[in-house]
Structure 1
């Protein structure tokens, strides 16, 4: 039986209270559509970039009011929630993804490890890199792994999470608009699905100025199962865990791989 997952392709504002109200709206709609998990984009809690210094000032801890209130939304809608948080650090903040279960309890968090110092952006000016790969967690949608946006360009992360049992890879993202950027986004998401024989979903922030939206989802054979436009919208797709078994039985890449040669 398929499990429905929802992607909230949103535009965040600079104030977390505004984004919290948006979370409720999308979560309530996802619940009406019988989803069991909803994924929000990177930079969901507070928009990035901001004026110099504001991003740091608006950070919160994972015990702070925003995560607590998202937990209340999870409980009342009965949804697992995955979302981006501006987490307070020391001299700079962390770009963190939080996973809450349907009781609003923290099931995992991931601090983005590969910072977007590319294409004339320098995320490291405001953000500290995490130093741990996410350990996949069990959920109603299967065992989920996490990467954030630019992490998608580093296939080792998805492979290492797949080797730890991940069946579904989620990439909350704020993929910057630009020449060839959608082609790269689509190709890399599909590749992560095919090479790891898992479900892969990229939930991309949408904004007129910076981020393209155009979220995507692929099944373990690389078949597209959802596609967003350049706008705010809620997207849904089904996950059939038995399909992973079928694909991996037909093409057993994990038993055929030569891990003795490359040590992961």
Structure 2
């Protein structure tokens, strides 16, 4: 493997039909490959609007198998353009059994591996627990031709345990496909606090584990499927995708609304040097962490 890795993330709206959204994603994959990227990351569930705002059995019809129609297309593009792709798909595993699944496709067009979202939120506007079964593949990096990718999904990004376990299993970088936004009833001050917390926690994962982070979010306002026209009911996805180095330093970022192909270069040698200077893995007191497996210490 080369000492540097050129990576990209696609910040895009996902509020159109499946084919239009997929066409947009593919166009950005092509752009990333043409500029020499080794890896491109797409937002969480980029094939359509965020259907989890409400509970509706009809939405289960959006799910597809893996491999399936979308992965077949993405595998073809990956092989043609010699680029690694991270896509997130509503996976139909069996009747009545569905997952929110990240698929990693290698440069040869093969499916290198999958990650099924482990932490499933159940909040107003984010009724994912209705649709998704918690993942059962563990926190295991996916081996590719460019290294081990520690892929996690959205709500997973708030849990330091998930990032740490990926790092301990040898991940070369952490990747967070995301669909997160603001409740329009929140004040501007609260929205800013939420955004700041989101950026901070992910940069902290880079710092605490000494590895780069790619965070890829969607953008745009999406009405709730049951909302009346012009009601304002929905989610404004806040974008702000970024790529950070192993000390949490921002290599490139986007704002809250722009359609953008983010690109950055990761220096593997520097990542190793950072870990040598800040040896968190060496100094961990693993003999004292047993209580982490408890829900709460009374």
Same fold by TM-score greater than 0.5: yes
From 241, 264, 276, the counterpart of 1:237: 264
Contact 1:56 1:92 in 2 (8 A): no
Query: Per-residue deviation at 1:87?
Result: 0.6
Q: 1:84, 1:60 → 2: CA distance?
A: 11
Q: Does 1:226 align with 2:226?
A: no
* TM-score, normalization by structure 1: 0.94
Counterpart of 2:225 in structure 1 is none
Q: 2:144, 2:134 → 1: CA distance?
A: 26
Q: Does 1:156 align with 2:183?
A: no
Counterpart of 2:119 in structure 1 is 114
Counterpart of 2:203 in structure 1 is 190
- After superposition, the C-alpha distances for 1:11-63 in whole angstroms (9 at most, x for unaligned) are 22453322221122101110121101100010113332167233210210002
**2:220 partner SS:** coil
Q: Does 1:73 align with 2:77?
A: yes
* TM-score, normalization by structure 2: 0.83
Q: Does 1:86 align with 2:99?
A: no
Instruction: Find runs of 4+ consecutive structure 1 residues off by over 4 angstroms.
Output: none
Contact 2:142 2:151 in 1 (8 A): no
From 222, 235, 238, the counterpart of 1:212: 238
- After superposition, the C-alpha distances for 1:55-85 in whole angstroms (9 at most, x for unaligned) are 2102100021111111111112211000110
Contact 1:41 1:174 in 2 (8 A): yes
Contiguous gaps of at least 5 residues in structure 2: 184-190, 223-234, 293-298
Q: 2:48, 2:110 → 1: CA distance?
A: 21
Counterpart of 2:63 in structure 1 is 59
Q: Does 1:171 align with 2:166?
A: no
Change (3 A) 1:141 1:188: farther
Q: 2:130, 2:253 → 1: CA distance?
A: 32
Structure number with bigger Rg: 2
Q: Does 1:36 align with 2:49?
A: no
Contact 1:168 1:200 in 2 (8 A): yes
Contiguous gaps of at least 5 residues in structure 1: none
